[in-house]
Amino acid sequence: MQSDLDALLKKRWPSVRGRHLFPELPYPRWTEEEERGALEMKGKQISLSKEFVSEISSMLHPSDTLEALLDHAISHYLYCPWDLSTHLKLYAEAKKVLKDKHMAQRATDYFMDVVADTYCVSQRESGLPKLYRNLNRGIMDEAIHSLYQRIWGVDLGVEGYEDLARTLSRLPYLDRSRWKESVRRFAKAVKSILEMEERFGVSDKENPMGSHNVQQYSPQEIDKSLKELALDATNPEEFKDLIHDFEDELIEATQASTGAMGLGPGQELDADTLYYMKLAENYSLPIRKTPMEKSGFFAPMVVQMVSIGEEVGELSEMFKKINSFYQEYVETFLGRFTSMFEPIMLVFMGVIIGIMIVGMFLPIFQITQIGTGG
């Protein structure tokens, strides 16, 4: 089965990628982690669940399943991307309505899926309807697939939830400028479904298409998104409340790169400090680095001495020697300049005094000539 899936992925990936106009994504990989959903995406890397494809193969050919999963992942990357800034902004709007972290997370996950899948189905032929028709659905999945039936105009075998689907179908999912407003209306509409899941104890059921969490982002993506969130926040408290909801996840996600948020292992996340630090980074000026030998400011001797000092590990001592050399050079130059300047000053003063003497005696000489009738 493994070799068949590998061959199938190798065959289908170029065609799916071409259908989406060749996005810059690396070759997908398989994962055997059963607790995950059908797929996950970290950075640009798509990971597909062999377990999921195998389980659904009795109802849907693996080729169709694979193409649908790839369509779903690529559409997220292209249109409703798995970037932390968009994710947290939508989550914040959903939480304003639902007042609960877990429910806000689920509402945000499903909203992002509706946006990505609707974009994909509206732009090109996709296997997503085939996949959703054969999925093992939970309560929330039934409601969302009822929405898909209405806005996609396809039969997914869902009965019920017509009123909810009618309400949700009015939202402008493909209007990026209205996503914040749309996710609030979406959260308000699905609130009763999320509360039903809580009552029945199925709210922890994994989204079959995979959930969105902080751990799926790289430390570099997290750092970039935190800068954007700090810049967009109307006040520090807004940023602080959002970060506190994901404090543990952010620390865990950045443990591999201690410099990403200014945190080292075992350190706590101070939301106030983080806010001002990321806000300041938005206004930092880039520094262009130029090698000493190409800068034109340093003599070849200085460049060579610094290079030697770096090689032998005695850079500070080498700077002291450079300092001593230039102090002696300046003193020698000033001494020579002074010794040359003294005779020049004497000649200059002599000329000035000579002009003054001529100026004093010339009128007297002229008067004398006039008196003698000369």
Are 269 and 361 part of one and the same domain? no
What average pLDDT does range 71-78 have in this prediction?
Answer: 90
Please indicate, yes or no, if residue 346 is contained in any of the structural domains.
yes
254 pLDDT tier (thresholds 50, 70, 90): low
Are 99 and 31 part of one and the same domain? yes
Question: Does pLDDT of 260 surpass 50?
Answer: no
Question: Does pLDDT of 257 surpass 60?
Answer: no
The two structure tokens encoding residue 43: 């950075």
Q: pLDDT tens digits for 205-242? A: 878 887 787 777 777 888 888 888 888 888 888 888 88
Q: pLDDT tens digits for 14-65? A: 999 999 989 889 999 998 765 557 888 877 889 999 888 988 888 999 999 9
Are 18 and 92 part of one and the same domain? yes
Q: pLDDT tens digits for 123-181? A: 888 999 999 999 888 899 999 999 999 999 999 999 989 999 999 999 999 999 999 99
**What percentage of residues in the chain have a pLDDT greater than 90?**
36
Residue 20 host element (H or E): none
Give the residue, 274 or 101, on which the prediction is more confident.
101
Q: Cα(201)–Cα(32) distance, rounded to whole angstroms?
A: 27
Boundary (domain end) residue, out of 160, 190, 212: 212
39-42 and 29-31: which strand pairing? unpaired
Q: Cα(98)–Cα(88) distance, rounded to whole angstroms?
A: 15
Q: What is the mean pLDDT of the chain?
A: 85
45-49 and 29-31: which strand pairing? parallel
Are 58 and 90 part of one and the same domain? yes
Looking up tokens 């749309």, which residue turns up? Answer: 182
Query: According to the model, what pLDDT value does residue 66 have?
Result: 93
What average pLDDT does range 363-370 have in this prediction?
Answer: 77
DSSP 124: S
Q: How many domains does the chain have?
A: 3
Burial 250-266 (b: 16+ CB within 10 A, else e): bbebbeeeeebbbbeee
Question: Does pLDDT of 256 surpass 70?
Answer: no
Question: Does pLDDT of 269 surpass 70?
Answer: no
What average pLDDT does range 269-294 have in this prediction?
Answer: 74
Query: According to the model, what pLDDT value does residue 296 have?
Result: 74
114 pLDDT tier (thresholds 50, 70, 90): very high
Query: According to the model, what pLDDT value does residue 293 have?
Result: 75
Q: Cα(49)–Cα(85) distance, rounded to whole angstroms?
A: 26
Looking up tokens 């298409």, which residue turns up? Answer: 209
Boundary (domain end) residue, out of 212, 236, 259: 212
What average pLDDT does range 353-368 have in this prediction?
Answer: 82
Measured in residues, the chain has a length of: 374
Query: Where in the sequence is the domain holding 253, given as residue range(s)?
Result: 217-281
Please report, as a single letter, which amino acid is at residue 51. E
What average pLDDT does range 247-267 have in this prediction?
Answer: 60
What average pLDDT does range 351-372 have in this prediction?
Answer: 80
Are 82 and 157 part of one and the same domain? yes
Q: pLDDT tens digits for 282-315? A: 776 565 667 777 777 788 888 888 888 877 777 7
User: What strand order describes the sheet that includes 39-42?
Assistant: 29-31, 45-49, 39-42
Are 201 and 142 part of one and the same domain? yes
Please indicate, yes or no, if residue 105 is contained in any of the structural domains.
yes
Are 160 and 195 part of one and the same domain? yes
Q: Cα(46)–Cα(69) distance, rounded to whole angstroms?
A: 10
259 pLDDT tier (thresholds 50, 70, 90): very low
Query: According to the model, what pLDDT value does residue 132 have?
Result: 94
247 pLDDT tier (thresholds 50, 70, 90): confident
Please indicate, yes or no, if residue 289 is contained in any of the structural domains.
no
Are 53 and 175 part of one and the same domain? yes
Query: According to the model, what pLDDT value does residue 239 have?
Result: 87
Query: According to the model, what pLDDT value does residue 144 have?
Result: 95
Please indicate, yes or no, if residue 294 is contained in any of the structural domains.
no
Please indicate, yes or no, if residue 351 is contained in any of the structural domains.
yes
* 245 burial type by CB count under 10 A (0-12 exposed, 13-18 middle, 19+ buried): middle
Are 309 and 174 part of one and the same domain? no
> CA distances (Å), 306 to each of 121, 196, 324, in order?
62, 71, 14
Are 181 and 40 part of one and the same domain? yes
DSSP 214: G
Question: Does pLDDT of 317 surpass 90?
Answer: no
Looking up tokens 């020049």, which residue turns up? Answer: 344
Question: Does pLDDT of 186 surpass 90?
Answer: yes
Are 226 and 200 part of one and the same domain? no
Boundary (domain end) residue, out of 189, 212, 235: 212
